[in-house]
Structure 1
Amino acid sequence: MTLPTTRIPDPNDAPALRWGVLAPGGIARDWTAALHATTASRVVAAGSRSLERARAFAADFDVDRAYGSYDELVADDGVDAIYVASPHSEHHDHALLAIEAGKPVLVEKAFTRNAAEAAEVIDAARAAGLLLVEAMWTRFLPHIDVVRRCLEDGLLGDVVAVEADHGQLLFPDGPQRMADPALAGGALLDLAIYPIAFAHLALGGFTEVRATGTLTDAGVDAGETVAVIGPQGAVGTLSSTMRAKTPCAASISGTAARVEIDGWFYQPNTVRLIDTDDRELDRFETPRREHGLAYEAAEFARLLTAGATESDLLPLDETLRLMQVLDEIRGQLGVRFPGEG
């Protein structure tokens, strides 16, 4: 028994796009560095509420144009697509701003604050016939495609259990947005989204979701454990916290074998195939560990060049279903963001 190969192409082989970065913060810096290092695409414009910040970003990454407003950025005729890298609380408005300007959009995860906002953005993009993709970078990585193929080919037998965790030490001394309800802070949208999305792929969706967790004094979730059941009765145990670094491992166990991804499972990684006697049968090593964010940008470039309006690797309907799961978990935990309807 051996692992299948990946179908994910080298990012270097993707068509070139001219990108505009909306909100040039930390994740935008990582994404741009990956884009410039391993693809033919380039960021040609950056927009921020602070012209000084946009200019600093442009200088650091040799970007042609810097704007002190998002409206100017999305109106730039020399930009093929917009990457929305603002806090979760702003994704809805900023994605709609780009769509209304006729620009295809790659929106950072979590896609929006809630499912209602996600539905509005998806409906707007579909009505305009524009490409829209959630930047859940894990879905576009080679090792996750190996896992996907294991599931498609029935290599593991009947899937019985999924486990995944994601914990980072980000509170109380981490980024301020993590603790701020107004910015849709908390562990769920930043950290738990990874194990939840992984289990959703492995199980083919959820029929039941049960969550328990703890909240900070400000009312955002500090961490949670989520138990899920898939359509065929398989169970998932998922956890996250922003108060400690955890192993960040993931596994899918079936009646014939299991696959394991060790620490940082959501980044470019190694997949190991283990038989029912705990013997390692095979392993897949991601060919390029660095600059993993380039894979989602490369997928977007291929899709846009082909005239597609969404990705088969993460369809918009699944993005919406995942937001509905996050809403359900927040409801069980008692987390509500200011201004939600």
Structure 2
Amino acid sequence: MTGLRWGILATGGIAHAFTSDLQTAGLDVAAVGSRSAGSAQRFADEFGIARAHGSYDDLAADPDVDIVYIATPHPAHAENAIAMLEAGKHVLVEKPFTLTAAEAAAVRDVARRTGLLAMEAMWTRYLPHMVRVRTLIADGALGEVRTVFADHTQQITDDPTHRLNDLELGGGALLDLGIYPVSFAWDILGAPTTVRAVARLAETGADAEVATVMTHGSGALSTTVSSSRAAGPNSAHIVGTRARIDIDRVWYTPTTFRLTAPDGTVLEEYASDVDGRGMQYQALAAERLIAEGRVDSDLLPLDESVAIMGTLDDIRAQIGVHYPQEA
């Protein structure tokens, strides 16, 4: 253990899941902050956290907090992350990193000025099965990777007042769900060289379904689909000239996969053995980086998080989704 003391900013569902996994891994959760003192205290009582702050400013001022997990809705990520960085705290920011690439760049610039870690909480990249997937690709088990397919499709709600359908709250399937397969394509194939996107918009103007086709530097293609109105397979596939990897439902969580030869022979089967949901792996990675005196992730560098937000900006421009907060 590194001795780092975690603060949790906001008390919603994702904060509950993350805090549970932190404690499963034996990490030190020292404080929680909410806009409501009552909500902070209830959260603290649930998890046995010593200090509950009734404002984000009080959490930022807490001298016994070293790193803060930002768990607010994504339109608030940039403001919250910058406030914590300015207060001398490292930050792990829930995905998507921010609302736009411009906001992401602003967070990056403050992190670099302050010399602190700012890392996107794209927890999938740190999961053991994804570590093995990248190792197989690097070792040449797939040959030349030609295509990547992934979907993140859920039947959530068509309620126009729900945050997922509210543009004021950064609503839309793309930023909440599509960030996973888009980031996955980046992870496996690198930056896209061209992006094509189509969508079906909800009554509120938020995107309900989005599909993308991207080309990448090697010439490989990726396709992604995200939806908040219908549940699909939620699987992912990486196809190479020597073999393919089929990652089972739900591909972005601890799961199973198979390495399969073109003739159908299964060359390897992998099954995850993970305590909890698996969100602790990103936290452990953040702690290791800080212990080593590093302030950028090797699996998801800050510049890449900014660039991925640029890809999402490009997709939104193509499908006609514009947030009121944008200039």
Query: Is TM-score (shorter-chain normalized) higher than 0.5?
Result: yes
Letter in 2 for 1:265: W
Q: Does 1:287 align with 2:273?
A: yes
What residue is the counterpart of 1:98 in the other structure? 84
What residue is the counterpart of 1:8 in the other structure? none
Matches within 5 A, 1:204-283: 204-283=190-269
Q: Does 1:196 align with 2:182?
A: yes
Q: Distance in 2 between matches of 1:61 and 1:203?
A: 39
Q: Does 1:178 align with 2:168?
A: no
Q: CA RMSD in A?
A: 1.3
Question: CA shift at 1:168, angstroms?
Answer: 1.0
Letter in 2 for 1:35: L
What residue is the counterpart of 1:24 in the other structure? 11
Q: Distance in 2 between matches of 1:175 and 1:98?
A: 30
Specify every segment of 5 or more residues in structure 2 that has no aligned partner in the other structure, as ranges: none
Aligned-residue sequence identity (percent) comes to 47
1:318 to 304, 308, 317: 304
Cα pair 1:16 1:40 within 8 Å, conserved: no
- Post-superposition Cα deviations, 1:203-242, rounded to whole Å, max 9, x if no partner, equal 1221111000111121111011100111111111110100
Cα pair 1:268 1:290 within 8 Å, conserved: no
CA 1:309 to 1:110, structure 2 compared with 1: closer, same or farther past 3 Å? same
Cα pair 1:15 1:298 within 8 Å, conserved: no
What residue is the counterpart of 1:33 in the other structure? 20
Matches within 5 A, 1:14-93: 14-37=1-24, 39-93=25-79
Letter in 2 for 1:106: L
- Post-superposition Cα deviations, 1:262-291, rounded to whole Å, max 9, x if no partner, equal 111000111210001122111122221633
SS in 1 for 2:192: coil
Question: CA shift at 1:40, angstroms?
Answer: 2.4
Q: Distance in 2 between matches of 1:104 and 1:115?
A: 20
- Post-superposition Cα deviations, 1:162-189, rounded to whole Å, max 9, x if no partner, equal 1100111112159821111111111011
Cα pair 1:257 1:275 within 8 Å, conserved: yes
Cα pair 2:253 2:277 within 8 Å, conserved: no
- TM-score after normalising by structure 2: 0.97
Q: Distance in 2 between matches of 1:337 and 1:173?
A: 18
Cα pair 1:17 1:40 within 8 Å, conserved: no
Question: CA shift at 1:202, angstroms?
Answer: 1.3
CA 1:289 to 1:18, structure 2 compared with 1: closer, same or farther past 3 Å? closer
- TM-score after normalising by structure 1: 0.94
Cα pair 1:219 1:335 within 8 Å, conserved: yes
SS in 2 for 1:245: coil
Q: Distance in 1 between matches of 2:176 and 2:58?
A: 28
Q: Distance in 1 between matches of 2:283 and 2:46?
A: 20
